[in-house]
Amino acid sequence: MNKPTTPARSSSGSRQPTSPAGQAARQFRSVCHSFCTRIRGLSIRKANTITDDEPTRLGTGMIRFEFFDDGWDFNDPNRDDLDSYLAQLERVGRQKLPQMIQKQAEKGRPVSCLVNNPFIPWVSDVAEILGIPSAMLWVQSCASFSTYYHYYNELVPFPSEHEPEIDVQLPYMPLLKHDEVPSFLHPDTPYPFLGRAILGQFKNLSKPFCILMDTFQELEHEIVEHMSKVCRPIKTIGPLFKELGSPNTGNYTSESNAIRADFYAADSCLEWLDSKPPQSVVYISFGSIVHLKQEQVDEMAHGLLGSEVSFLWVVRPPPKELNVEAHVLPQGFLEKAGDKGKTVKWSPQEQVLAHPSTACFVTHCGWNSTMEALASGVPVVAFPQWGDQVTDAKFLVDVFKVGIRLCRGDSEGRIVPRDEVERCFRAATGGPEAAEMKQNALKWKKAAEEAVAEGGSSYRNMRDFVEEVVRISSHAS
C-alpha cells in the first residue's frame, strides 16, 4: 500500500504481550500508525524500545506510535471511572486526532483508513468528517457481537428486572441460558459502565465500511454470514495472534511480538515444561483483570494437590486499580507440590499453549485466551467470571466441544469446592472425555492454521480489506 492504514487505539489496552489492536496492525504488511494516549504511551515505552516518530518492527511489518495528552494528570481519580474517562477521551480525541492525521499528511504519510475498537466509536465520526474510510475492530466472538446487536436493537427479549432468568434464542446460535448471556447486559450487573461502553459502538455502526473480527470463518460461519447480512460486512481475520510469527507456525521469534504493554520479566517456565512428559501439565491463567476470591484460590490449590497432576499456575499481582490484596497460596502448598508444580507471575502464553507438555488450559474464557487455546489445539477447563466470558464458555463446552465447565460465572455466587476442582482436572487430563476434547481441539487448530495460511479465509479477508481501502482512497483523491 502506498498509504499507511492507521489503527486507532485507546489507552485502556490489554496487558498481554501484544494487544488485539497491535496484532491487527502487524497484518497490514506496511507502516501503520497507532494513536494512543500519552499515559498509555508511558507503559508501552517502558516495556519496549519506542522512538518518537520512528517505526518499530512488528511481525513482517512496521508500526509507528503517536501519543496525545488526554488532559488529565496521571493520578487523577477520574481515571478509575470508565464512564468519565471515555467521555474525556472523546472530548480530547475529537480535537487531537484530526490534528495528528493532518501532521502525518504534512510529513508525506497520509492516513488512508481509521480502525477503532468498540470503546472509541467516535473515531468513525472523525473519519467521516475527514473523508477517510473507517472500520471497526471487534475482538470478541461473533456470537457475542450478535448478542450485543440484538440487545441494542431490542430484537428479542433479554433478562430484565421483571424476568431476570429469561433464556435468549438468537439466529444460528444455541439457546443461551440467562447466565450464558454476556453479564454486562443483565440489569443487576456490577459493571454497567462496561456494557454502556461496548454498546456505544452500535450507535455508530452505519459508519464503518466493514467490521474486522478476531475469529475465523470456519469457527462461526453461520453467525458471521447472518450478521453480515443484517448488519455491516464482517471480515474475519483471526486468529490474529497466529497470523505472523506464531509458535504454532514454526517461525516464532521474540521480534515478532515485540510490542508489549506489561513489565513482567520472562520466567524459566518453558525450561520447566521441557522436563515434563507430553500432555501432562495443567496450565492455569485467569488473565490480567480477573481477580478470584482468596477462598477460591485456596480451594483451587487444594484441588490441584488432590488431583496429583502437574501444573503451571500464573499467579499475577492484582492491578492497582482493583485495590485488593494479592493472593496468598496455602501454607506448604508449593512444598507439597514439589517438582509437579510451578507458579509464576507471568508466562509467554502463546508458547506455553504451543508446548507439547501442556495438557489443558484452565481459563477465564476471555476471547483472546479462547482463540489461543483453540488455535493451539489445547482443551480447556472453563472458569468464566463475567462479561462475554460466560458466552465463550458456553461455546467452548457445548459447541466447539473442547472444554469442561468448572463454574458458570460470577452470578453463580459460590466457591467451587476442592473436590469438584480435583474431579474436573482429572477428567481433563486423562480418560475418554479428555481424548475426545483433544481430538476436537486439534481439529480447530488445523482449521485456524488453514484460515491464516496463504489462500485461507482470514488471509483472503485481510487482502480484500486492504484492496478495498486502496480502492476507496483512490476514488477520494
Q: Would you tell me the crossing angle of helices 457-476 and 432-452 to the nearest 10 degrees?
A: 30
Residue with the three cell numbers 499515559: 39
Q: How far is CA 102 from CA 107, 109, 256, 304, 359, in A?
A: 9, 9, 30, 56, 51
Residue ranges for the chain with pLDDT beneath 50: 1-17, 29, 244-246, 250-256, 258, 263
Helices (H), 181-239: 192-199, 217-230
Q: What is the pTM of this model?
A: 0.89
Give counts: helices (H), strands (E), the chain. 17, 14
3-class secondary-structure state, position 385: coil
Give the pairing type, strands 61-68 and 56-58.
antiparallel
By the 10 Å C-beta count (0-12 exposed, 13-18 middle, 19+ buried), 461 is classed as buried
Q: Would you tell me the crossing angle of helices 367-376 and 432-452 to the nearest 10 degrees?
A: 100
Contact 53, 41 (CB under 8 A): no
| CA angle in degrees (0–180, nearest 5) for 363-417-434 | 50
Give the DSSP letter of residue 280.
Answer: -
Give the DSSP letter of residue 16.
Answer: S
Q: What is the pLDDT of residues 338-394, one digit of tens each?
A: 999 999 999 999 999 999 999 999 999 999 999 999 999 999 999 999 999 999 999
The H or E element containing residue 281 is strand 281-285
Residue 190's contacts (CB-CB under 8 Å, 6 or more residues apart) are none
Q: How far is CA 342 from CA 211, 336, 395, 463, in A?
A: 41, 11, 30, 42
Q: Can you tell me the distance from the alpha carbon of 246 to that of 252, in angstroms, rounded to the nearest whole number? A: 5
Q: Can you tell me the distance from the alpha carbon of 392 to that of 235, in angstroms, rounded to the nearest whole number? A: 20
Contact 70, 64 (CB under 8 A): no
411: how many CB neighbours lie within 10 A of its CB?
Answer: 16
pLDDT of residue 1: 36
The closest alpha carbon to 30, from 57, 9, 61, 59, belongs to 61
pLDDT of residue 260: 52
Q: What is the pLDDT of residues 442-453, one digit of tens each?
A: 999 999 999 999
The closest alpha carbon to 322, from 90, 8, 15, 42, belongs to 15
Q: Please report the domains of the chain, with CATH numbers, ordered by start residue.
A: 6-245+452-476 (3.40.50.2000), 267-449 (3.40.50.2000)
pLDDT of residue 267: 60
By the 10 Å C-beta count (0-12 exposed, 13-18 middle, 19+ buried), 94 is classed as middle
pLDDT of residue 63: 84
